[in-house]
Chains A and B, each alone.
Chain A
Amino acid sequence: MGNIIAAIVVLGVLGAVFGLVLAVASKIFEVKKDPREEAILSHLAGANCGGCGYPGCAGCAAAILAGDAPINACAPAGAENAAAIAEIMGQAAPTGERQVAFVRCNGGVNAKKRFDYVGVHDCLSATKVAAGPLECSFGCLGFGSCVAACQFGAMSIGPNGAAVVDPDKCTACMACANACPRHLITSVPVSKKVHVACANQEKGKAAMSVCANSCIGCGLCQKECKKDAIHVENGVAVIDYEKCVGCKLCTKVCPRDAILPVATAEEKEKYKAIKKAQAEKAAAAKKAAEEAAASAQ
């Protein structure tokens, strides 16, 4: 019994002495921290998601204070908090619109399967088995690695089997983009509604045979766009969001329904009819002009 008491007392005293020494030392060796660091930290998301590239939110706050990181380094915190941090740092609030993640695949059930994958329910694992269960080597596998990576509940597997983003919940931390083994997720401005939902870089038949919704690089959208905002690059259409005004003409001419929001058959017919009428009108006008020129001679 005496042994136990001695052990308790000795270790207790030892602990207390060390505690006291540390308490005194923390006063003696106190380093004045910039109070702004705490203030900045309070305006960060606090999820320690690591999306900014710094070790945790405290690391990001220190980097912002040191000027190593931009004011809006914390994407999840949003524009309001970025503005608050800008105020703390005595800088103008950064402009630029809120970004959200977007999954560049609308395949899902429309993408052809080579086999049924029954292994670990994870996209990366699925890609390791004979290069994945899809015919399309670019498409969303739908095993939800991005859903698991999202801390904000913004990712889900959509009704057709491909991952979709809820723009209201998305904070553009891009954890999903890092989780996606096929690198399908990019960030897009939240106000833009027209997106190319395919990343297949194959052209023509090669792209057509693997999925009903694949971009085949035909370039119809590029011809149709009045703002020069959509171009076929590396075999897949890419939208320049600086130029896109959201007129949705490209969605109506896309023969593959690869551009979101997908136009209905009715809308497409209507647009075709309008175009036909316009073409006839133009032809008639041209003919009339030619006739007029001929009669003048």
Chain B
Amino acid sequence: MDQIYELLAITLGAILANNFIFSQFLGICPFLGVSKKVDTAVGMGMAVTFVMGLASAITWLVNTFILIPFDLGYMQTVAFILVIASLVQFIEMFLQKSMPSLYTALGVYLPLITTNCAVLGVALLNIQNNYNFISSVVYGITGGLGFLLAIVLFASIRERLVFADYPKSFEGFPIALVTAGLMALAFMGFSGLKIW
């Protein structure tokens, strides 16, 4: 029962209270870069969720069964970058062969995830928080879902911003950054969330 409560807490934390983008400021580059349209934002969010879940599982295994026994905890970052890069490459090949439609839908975003700090962030946070295997995977997937939520909300706002009346000097990135800041402020409201 405790395990279930813990997973629930992790889920709510990763999606709302400790949202990767709005309160941990990880993965900002795709968040700003791929949020002009809701469709592409959904694609990017799904891809990130997928990779974050898988990366959490594999990095946890690598850390527990390879790095810790050899007393190489300080090599985590390097080893995880290696794991994530190979993983993304592998997924890309796998998708191209077996799910060409998903591959074309994700397009250029899949290789972009290699350099997404949210993915490396989740791998390192799992270790920092002393999560077990299941918690790590849940944290990875829900963290990805939090990213998905944030980027889709942001993209929908940006789509509407096109018709908004704001000073010309704010056009483009300035207004996007202002919007992101306001959204982060709004998400701060979740930090007081308590369910029991």
Contacts and interface: CB of A to CB of B under 8 A. Distances in A.
Contacts of A6: 70-72
Contacts, number: 48
Interface stretch (A14-22, A67-75, A79-87): A14-22
Contacts of B97: 28-31
B186 interface: no
A25 interface: yes
A69 to B, nearest CB: 17
Given A22-B89, A25-B93, A26-B93, A10 B72 contact: yes
B83 interface: yes
Contacts of B89: 22
Interface in A43-90: 55
Contacts of A18: 82-83, 86
B78 to A, nearest CB: 7
Nearest to B83: A18
SS class, residues of chain B in contact with chain A:
helix
Contact of A29 (B70, B72, B86, B98): B98
A15 B82 contact: yes
Nearest to B87: A18
Contact of A14 (B62, B90, B108): B62
Contacts of A22: 86, 89-90, 93
A59 to B, nearest CB: 10
Nearest to A55: B108
B170 interface: no
Contact of B75 (A11, A21, A26, A30): A11
Given A10-B66, A14-B79, A31-B96, A25 B71 contact: no
Interface residues of A, number: 18
B94 interface: yes
Contacts of B79: 10-11, 14
B78 A29 contact: no
A6 B70 CA distance: 7
A3 interface: yes
B72 to A, nearest CB: 6
A99 to B, nearest CB: 31
B67 interface: yes
A7 B72 contact: yes
A30 B97 CA distance: 7
17 contacts: A6-B70, A6-B71, A6-B72, A7-B72, A10-B67, A14-B79, A14-B83, A18-B83, A19-B86, A22-B86, A22-B90, A25-B90, A28-B97, A29-B96, A29-B97, A30-B97, A31-B97
Interface of A: 3, 6-7, 10-11, 14-15, 18-19, 21-22, 25-26, 28-31, 55
Given A11-B79, A14-B83, A31-B100, 8 more contacts: A6-B72, A10-B66, A14-B66, A18-B83, A18-B86, A22-B86, A28-B97, A31-B96
